[in-house]
Amino acid sequence: MTFKGFQKSAVYDYLEEKFGSLPGTERSFRNYISYLVETEQLELNNHKRIYSPVTELPYGKQLQIDFGEYRTKRGLKLYIFAAVLSASRYKYCVLQDRPFTTLDLINHLLDCFQYIGGMPEELVIDQDKVMVVSENRGDIIYTKDFKQFIEEMNLKMYVCRKSDPESKGKIENVIKFIKRNFLKIRDFENIEEAQERLSRWLNRRANGKISLATRRIPQEMFTEEKIHLRGLKNSIYRKDTLNARERRKADITGEISVNSCKYPVPLEYREREVDIYKTAERLFIYDIRTGEKIVEYAISPIPGSRITNRARCHRKELKQKQLKEELKRLFALDSWSEFVDKNFRMYTRYFRDQYHDALKKFSRGIEKEHLGQAIDLCLENRTYSMANLYDTYQYYQQEAELALPKVKIVSNLRGIPQEKKAFQVEKRDIGVYHNLVNVSEARS
């Protein structure tokens, strides 16, 4: 019986995954396979290459990355991104079902840095097109986004020559290990299942078993290497990640404080809270309700700086022009549009006040004929305030009311009801009054 390319550790791991705890150790399994080979009951068709040892690198120095492809028995095409810390051999791997782009690579690297809890000093890559445009005698031209990323993260780069892929042999061994030990003897329904099982395999096998190169368990070595990694940094490629944002409150002048510097926000955000996301060089400010970006700044390297925002003035000017257009739609008169334009030019600084004054005075009950007369007079005399226009309008309205003809008012009094006409008023005899007069004269 001949088997080509199978690793003993891969078969043992698969049996362990399939049946749980096995009655024998991995060494017993290897001895059994060796016995089958020696007795010619099993033939392994392997061709091993011999490599000379290289000097081990210090902790935190280097991370190697590489890509791979694999098609499962069911035809699922998997694209592999893998990374390994050169000192501890601690591994990271992720799968996707489409070819990699530069942004995919950057996101996977950021996830990898998050996974290992820090960043190395140096990144070892090959001349893959998602990272490198061209190389000419050591002059490397990177893709635009990748160049921005490595500058932002302050990463040193080691780019392998096309003729020297073995200079990143550690990661090439990891790719082979993933294909032979994990993928070759498994099959998956979908990419989600493959990734979920790969994550468990990384913890159990790739990082949880003794490495033949170091004779130590990568997970244990990683606890020592982790303290030598550089700290994590925010990236502009993660500026849309909500959990990395911080909360700030703008003061009464519409400014927020970041690293002892003052950055302005639009005036409508005065004394309101906003979200910020900052990298080493850029500051992004977001609306906390909508999540939309409000404004973006270059981080000032000088503590105590007060940053000016020309866009803030532009935003104010833009809003005033919007108010002007809204005000012009209030009346379908050419003269009104002309008056609003002249009002805007004369009172640009106070146009918002003019706008609210116009809405208050001209929103209802306006006679267009009298308004047209008032506008013509104001344009003729070059008086362009809304208050003067309204006073002129009231004058024409009062003049029109005085010119109306007199109307005869007819009283509409009600008559005496019929039932009350029957009452008789008592009348006294006039002699009573004569007697009263005579008595008065006698006393005098």
Residue showing tokens 């791979």: 68
Range in 62-66, 228-232, 253-257, 415-419 with the lowest mean pLDDT: 415-419
Q: Return the higher-pLDDT residue of 112 and 242.
A: 112
Q: Is residue 233 part of a domain?
A: no
| Helix, strand, coil share of the chain (percent; to 5) | 45, 20, 40
Q: Is residue 121 part of a domain?
A: yes
- Per the structure block, which two tokens stand in for 44? 């392994």
Residues 201 and 344 in one domain: no
| Alpha carbons 40 and 34: distance in angstroms, whole number | 10
**Could you read off the pLDDT of 317-348 as tens digits, one per residue?**
557 788 888 888 889 889 999 999 999 888 88
pLDDT of residue 2: 44
| Alpha carbons 61 and 52: distance in angstroms, whole number | 21
Measured between alpha carbons, how far is residue 173 from residues 53, 68, 84, 166, 176 in Å? 14, 11, 10, 10, 5
Domain count across the chain: 4
Domain that holds residue 295: 239-308
Element (H, E) at 384: none
Residues 98 and 189 in one domain: yes
Residues 282 and 378 in one domain: no
Q: Is residue 50 part of a domain?
A: no
- Per the structure block, which two tokens stand in for 334? 């050419």
Q: Return the higher-pLDDT residue of 186 and 402.
A: 186
Q: Is residue 28 part of a domain?
A: yes
Q: Largest Cα–Cα distance in the chain?
A: 175
Q: Return the higher-pLDDT residue of 295 and 404.
A: 295
DSSP of 284-314: EEEETTT--EEEEEEPPSSTT-B---HHHHH
Q: Last residue of some domain: 252, 273, 308?
A: 308
Mean pLDDT of the region 264-287: 89
Residues 211 and 253 in one domain: no
Residues 207 and 251 in one domain: no
User: Among residues of the chain, what percentage have pLDDT more than 90?
Assistant: 43
Q: Last residue of some domain: 180, 203, 228?
A: 228
Residues 290 and 180 in one domain: no
pLDDT of residue 108: 96
Q: Last residue of some domain: 228, 253, 274?
A: 228
> Does the pLDDT at position 99 exceed 90?
yes
Residues 213 and 94 in one domain: yes
Residues 338 and 299 in one domain: no
Mean pLDDT of the region 70-82: 94
Q: Is residue 344 part of a domain?
A: yes
Q: Which residues contact 207 (CB under 8 A, 6 or more apart)?
A: 90, 91, 217, 218, 219, 222
Amino acid found at 325: E
pTM over 0.75? The answer is: no
Residues 162 and 263 in one domain: no
Residues 83 and 187 in one domain: yes
Residues 270 and 328 in one domain: no
Q: Is residue 51 part of a domain?
A: no
Q: Is residue 266 part of a domain?
A: yes
Query: Please, which residues bridge with residue 69 across strands?
Result: 79
Residues 118 and 199 in one domain: yes
**Arithmetic mean of pLDDT over the chain:** 84
Of the pLDDT bands very low, low, confident and very high (cuts 50, 70, 90), residue 221 is very high
Residue 57 DSSP code: P
Q: Is residue 114 part of a domain?
A: yes
**Could you read off the pLDDT of 374-393 as tens digits, one per residue?**
999 999 999 999 999 999 99
